[in-house]
Amino acid sequence: MTTFWWLIAATLAVALVDWWAVFTARRPVEYVFKPLTMVVLIAAAVTLTDPASSAARWWLVAGLVCSLAGDVFLMLDDLFVPGLASFLVGHLCYVVALANLGPTLPALIVGVVAVAVGVAFVGRIVINGAADTDARLRLPVTAYISAISVMVAVSIGTMIPFAIVGALLFYLSDACIGWSRFVKDFPQSRMAIITTYHLGQIGLVLALLGAG
């Protein structure tokens, strides 16, 4: 295996430890292995030889770094908005990365319709729930949902399976965060959030391989 694939395997191994920490409520372990998962994944993206697009790789790395910062902020108390802002910037980087992978207009239209449905049925409820919690959250949560929705739409536009699956898993992870935080928590919500989040990020990195 190449260095890239060894690091992808290492990312999964580190992520599994983090998932175990979340499942067993071992916060000190989580504080180490959650950011470490992203550090190893960033190394994988950097070491990939011959990506489908060099520009896409570096924009994706920028997004991963923003996600790492967001992870750290969200693990700390009272830093939800800085964490949200970090991920918002990260999604904008992902949008540029995916745009460099050559989305087509017909597929992009399909993506726009798909996320419009998601926003109508889930995003709207989360935004209203955030505003009910704190009126100041309406704007940043709306901006964040808009950014990740564009990211998902562009991923569908690329017609690259890894990009689509990765973006949709990320979307699902954030939907779980928004729902559990602002609407109603549900059993094992943290496990649902962390597993879909890590698998989504890995999928976006694998999208650098192209359509195959």
Separation in Å, CA 9 to CA 48, 66, 143: 14, 22, 34
CA distance 105 to 60: 22
Residues 6 or more apart whose Cβ sits within 8 Å of residue 175: 118, 122, 123, 126
> Mean pLDDT, to the nearest integer, of 124-131?
95
70-105: per-residue pLDDT in tens? 999 988 876 888 998 999 999 999 999 999 999 999
pLDDT at 78: 66
CA distance 212 to 208: 10
Is the pLDDT reported for residue 211 higher than 90?
no
CA atoms within 13 A on the CB side of 159: 11
User: Shortest CA distance to 59 belongs to which of 118, 110, 101?
Assistant: 101
34-61: per-residue pLDDT in tens? 999 999 999 999 999 999 999 999 999 9
**Against a cut of 0.85, is the pTM above it?**
yes
79-93 burial: b if 16+ Cβ within 10 Å, else e: ebeebbbbbbbbbbb
pLDDT at 10: 98
